[in-house]
């Protein structure tokens, strides 16, 4: 087993791990979770021996093979399949020795060992892993140097999985994967036969793969049974119980202290008072629950536009005159929530660039509403941020005509409130830069949000905040993500990008999982299927759209009630000012009577308006 005992580690004077301990049994799958910056990746590096502990110890069996994904992507002339096979050095050495060995006894030993490690079936296993991560047979024969950086990192992941070490350390393994490769990895890790320690912010992965969840917070490691959802429920109950115990103890302390203060100097009660005073001194304080600051996103409300926002008729689009996508017949309306499915390289980002105006149609007709504004998020845009600028200065560069207060208000919607808005971008974490990009792309209250992998570098809490923000947003959303949890909670339409075109997919994500795992023959079969599952999915989309419409109606009721309350309060203040005039009480009483009746009427109307606001607000919160 893997044991971490009273581990302490400091970074620049800050205690990152404070006498932290955990035990991971052999052949157990464990996830390590916690907020960004808590020290999860650092703990993996300590276990891997890349950095030295300050205090405490880390132990595991001496014969265990340990592996983590290489930080540098392979980029040589070797083919993908050869690169993966080379990860098993013992196999490579034995095969090389087998070609030159002459001693019959040694040849026999080599062959026995090769059989023990499954050396002859290794090429098929390596090809299977590469295929699962999105590399077809032809691509597997290409040199690594021909691939992009992200795809080469997939090869590095494949090599680590192929090695099948006794202890596998994975840090955000889905970051360079599309949805399809992520689904394959989830299935692969779920049956991993050895010990796995996984760091991820992918909620589905955290639910499906680990048997145990270890939470790292405030330098401590706390172990929970089950996946992420189970952890959340258990921790919530523990915190509620701890909070109740803390409140009970505070009440008990106040009662005892009151007795001591009252009777300490009274002879008949002095002994009892001293006894309670000693009990107070011995009472171990129960730590009060202080939750870390929660992140919230809030996309500004766009002005309504008549449908459709965008329509495409027989559109072809691509690069350098060569179409990547052809025959596109699509439309996007104000209440659409669309997720794009399809493997990397099929054209999802190409479609988003077309909708964003970054690409022009090669053929066909693309029509947009004349007043349409579009917010476009792409992960590579972090490279366009100026590390020397603060978040506020970067926002001012995007909105040069906006006041400083307006800029601060908008940044505050995305967690950059107060002095945090004055932090240099170079000092921000990856998740903070992603939130800044979301703030910058939505500053003009766009009608259409195009989100291309928005969750990279966002932790679980930030991803949940993004889910809430998308669901509250009143414009249209087109989403590319490898996070199935985000798709399931936000999207009510799925478009399948495959075979050089885009078609509506009339199944749900579970159908797509089955399709991808080969239980259905072709993608097109799913798009034309008219069975009860498809009908049910259509009903779900209609219900989801109706629910958003109902929420929009409730928001309008809340806004209207707030405006009415504001108007009545102004009217009430004016009447009270008139009634405070001493001259009013010296003459005739007609005006006094009229003003008094008007004030009563306004107060009555104000009560009605406040009740209306309360009902609408409660209904909105309940929705």
pLDDT tens column, 302-313: 999 998 999 999
Least confident of 98-107, 215-224, 338-347, 351-360: 98-107
Angstrom distance (rounded) from CA 415 to CA 594: 51
In this prediction, residue 621 carries a pLDDT of 58
Average pLDDT of the chain, as a whole number:
83
Angstrom distance (rounded) from CA 235 to CA 231: 6
In this prediction, residue 528 carries a pLDDT of 40
- The answer, yes or no, to whether residue 532 has pLDDT greater than 50, is no
**DSSP β-bridge partners for residue 493:** 338
- The answer, yes or no, to whether residue 546 has pLDDT greater than 90, is no
Shortest CA distance to 385 belongs to which of 418, 353, 430?
430
pLDDT band at 521 (very low <50, low <70, confident <90, very high): very low
**Regarding the domain with residue range 2-231, which homologous superfamily does it belong to in the CATH classification?**
P-loop containing nucleotide triphosphate hydrolases (3.40.50.300)
Least confident of 10-19, 112-121, 251-260, 296-305: 251-260
Q: Give all strands (DSSP E) within 402-527, no chain letters.
A: 448-452, 476-480, 493-498, 501-505
More confident residue, 74 or 159: 159
pLDDT band at 588 (very low <50, low <70, confident <90, very high): low
**Same fold yes or no, 2-231 and 310-529:** yes
Q: Best-predicted range by mean pLDDT among 372-381, 531-540, 609-618?
A: 372-381
In this prediction, residue 564 carries a pLDDT of 82
Shortest CA distance to 565 belongs to which of 596, 608, 597, 598?
608
pTM of the model: 0.68
- The predicted model gives 277-302 an average pLDDT of 64
- The answer, yes or no, to whether residue 196 has pLDDT greater than 90, is yes
- The answer, yes or no, to whether residue 530 has pLDDT greater than 60, is no
Of all residues in the chain, the percent with pLDDT exceeding 70 is: 83
Angstrom distance (rounded) from CA 580 to CA 605: 21
In this prediction, residue 385 carries a pLDDT of 87
Instruction: Name the phi and psi angles at 440, rounded to 5.
Output: -65, -40
Burial class of residue 185 in the structure, from the number of CB atoms within 10 Å of its CB (0-12 exposed, 13-18 middle, 19+ buried): buried
In this prediction, residue 268 carries a pLDDT of 58
In this prediction, residue 526 carries a pLDDT of 41
The full set of domain ranges for the chain reads 2-231, 232-282, 310-529, 549-622
Please tell me whether residue 235 adopts helix, strand or coil conformation: helix
- The predicted model gives 37-57 an average pLDDT of 91
More confident residue, 85 or 272: 85
- The answer, yes or no, to whether residue 531 has pLDDT greater than 50, is no
549-622: in CATH 1.10.287? yes
**DSSP β-bridge partners for residue 221:** 216
pLDDT band at 541 (very low <50, low <70, confident <90, very high): low
Crossing angle of helices 179-190 and 149-163, rounded to 10° = 10
pLDDT band at 534 (very low <50, low <70, confident <90, very high): very low
- The predicted model gives 38-50 an average pLDDT of 92
pLDDT band at 587 (very low <50, low <70, confident <90, very high): low
Count the Cβ atoms, other than its own, within 10 Å of residue 60. 17
Least confident of 247-251, 457-461, 532-536: 532-536
Instruction: Name the phi and psi angles at 189, rounded to 5.
Output: -75, -25
Q: Best-predicted range by mean pLDDT among 99-113, 157-171, 371-385, 556-570?
A: 157-171
Angstrom distance (rounded) from CA 499 to CA 525: 13
Q: pLDDT (tens digit, 9 = 90+) per residue, 494-511?
A: 999 999 999 999 888 888
Tokens of 424: 């240099």
pLDDT band at 255 (very low <50, low <70, confident <90, very high): low
In this prediction, residue 241 carries a pLDDT of 64
> 310-529: what CATH class?
alpha beta
Please tell me whether residue 155 adopts helix, strand or coil conformation: helix
Helices (H), 77-192: 80-85, 89-100, 104-116, 122-132, 137-140, 149-163, 179-190
Q: pLDDT (tens digit, 9 = 90+) per residue, 206-219?
A: 999 999 999 998 89
pLDDT band at 529 (very low <50, low <70, confident <90, very high): very low
The residue length of the chain stands at 623
In this prediction, residue 360 carries a pLDDT of 92
């Amino acid at each position: 087993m893997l044991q971490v005992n009273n581990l302490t580690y400091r970074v620049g004077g800050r205690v990152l791990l404070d006498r932290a301990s955990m035990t991971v049994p052999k052949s157990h799958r464990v996830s390590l979770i916690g907020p960004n910056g808590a020290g999860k990746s650092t703990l993996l590096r300590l276990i891997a021996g890349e950095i030295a502990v300050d205090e405490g110890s880390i132990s595991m069996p001496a014969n265990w093979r340990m592996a983590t994904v290489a930080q540098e992507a392979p980029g040589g002339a070797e083919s993908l399949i050869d690169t993966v096979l080379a990860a098993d050095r013992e196999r490579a050495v034995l095969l090389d020795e087998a070609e030159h060995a002459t001693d019959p006894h040694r040849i026999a030993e080599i062959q026995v060992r090769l059989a023990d490690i499954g050396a002859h079936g290794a090429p098929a296993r390596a090809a299977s892993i590469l295929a699962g991560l999105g590399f077809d047979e032809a691509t597997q024969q290409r040199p690594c140097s021909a691939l992009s950086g992200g795809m080469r990192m997939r090869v590095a992941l494949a090599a680590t999985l192929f090695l099948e070490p006794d202890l596998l350390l994975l840090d955000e393994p889905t970051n360079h994967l599309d949805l399809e490769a992520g689904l394959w990895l989830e299935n692969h890790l779920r049956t991993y036969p050895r010990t796995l320690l996984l760091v991820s912010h992918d909620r589905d992965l955290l639910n499906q793969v680990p048997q145990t969840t270890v939470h790292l917070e405030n330098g401590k490691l706390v172990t929970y049974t089950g996946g992420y959802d189970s952890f959340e429920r258990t921790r919530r109950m523990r915190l509620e119980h701890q909070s109740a115990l803390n409140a009970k103890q505070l009440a008990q302390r106040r009662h005892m202290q009151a007795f001591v203060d009252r009777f300490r100097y009274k002879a008949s009660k002095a002994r009892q008072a001293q006894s309670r005073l000693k009990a107070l001194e011995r009472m171990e304080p129960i730590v009060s629950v202080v939750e870390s600051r929660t992140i919230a996103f809030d996309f500004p409300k766009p002005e309504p536009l008549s449908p459709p926002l965008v329509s495409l008729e027989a559109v072809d689009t691509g690069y350098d005159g060569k179409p990547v996508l052809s025959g596109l017949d699509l439309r996007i309306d104000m209440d659409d929530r669309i997720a794009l499915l399809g493997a990397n390289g099929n054209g999802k980002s190409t479609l988003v660039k077309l909708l964003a105006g970054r690409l022009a149609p090669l053929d066909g007709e693309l029509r947009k509403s004349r007043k349409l504004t579009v917010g476009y998020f792409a992960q590579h845009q972090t490279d366009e941020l100026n590390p020397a600028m603060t978040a506020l200065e970067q926002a001012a560069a995007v909105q040069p005509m906006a006041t400083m207060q307006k800029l601060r208000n908008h940044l505050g919607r995305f967690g950059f409130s107060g002095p945090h808005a004055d932090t240099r971008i170079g000092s921000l974490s990856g998740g903070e830069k992603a939130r800044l990009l979301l703030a910058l792309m939505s500053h003009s209250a766009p009608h259409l949000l195009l989100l291309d992998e928005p969750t990279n570098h966002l932790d679980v809490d930030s991803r949940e905040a993004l889910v809430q923000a998308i669901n509250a947003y009143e414009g249209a959303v087109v989403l590319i993500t490898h996070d199935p949890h985000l798709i399931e909670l936000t999207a009510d339409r799925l478009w399948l990008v495959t075979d050089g075109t885009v078609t509506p997919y009339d199944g749900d994500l579970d159908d797509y999982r089955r399709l991808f795992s080969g239980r259905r023959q072709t993608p097109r079969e799913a798009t034309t299927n008219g069975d009860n599952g498809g009908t049910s999915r259509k009903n779900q989309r209609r219900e989801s759209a109706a629910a958003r419409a109902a929420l929009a109606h409730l928001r309008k009721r809340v806004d209207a009630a707030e405006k009415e309350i504001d108007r009545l309060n102004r009217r009430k203040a004016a009447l009270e000012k008139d009634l405070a005039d001493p001259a009013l009480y010296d003459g005739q009483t007609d005006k006094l009577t009229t003003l008094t009746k008007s004030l009563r009427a306004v107060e009555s109307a104000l009560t009605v308006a406040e009740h209306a606001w309360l009902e609408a607000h409660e209904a909105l919160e309940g929705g």
